[in-house]
Amino acid sequence: MNSHSNKYFGFLLLSKMEEIKNEESIDHKENCNKV
């Protein structure tokens, strides 16, 4: 059970990092468009 929850937490962390990366790239594109 412990290893399963660790795997799940790792997956959540990974998808959260992907979300942040995607948001940052979107912000960057918008900033470029503003300029």
pLDDT in tens, 1-35: 568 889 999 999 999 999 988 888 777 677 777 66
d(CA 5, CA 30): 37
**What is the per-residue DSSP string for 1-35?**
-HHHHHHHHHHHHHHHHHHHHHHHHHHHHHHHHH-
Amino acid at 4: H
**Residue 23 is part of which domain span?**
1-35
13-31 burial, b for 16+ CB within 10 Å, e for fewer? eeeeeeeeeeeeeeeeeee
Domains of the chain: total: 1
pLDDT at 18: 92
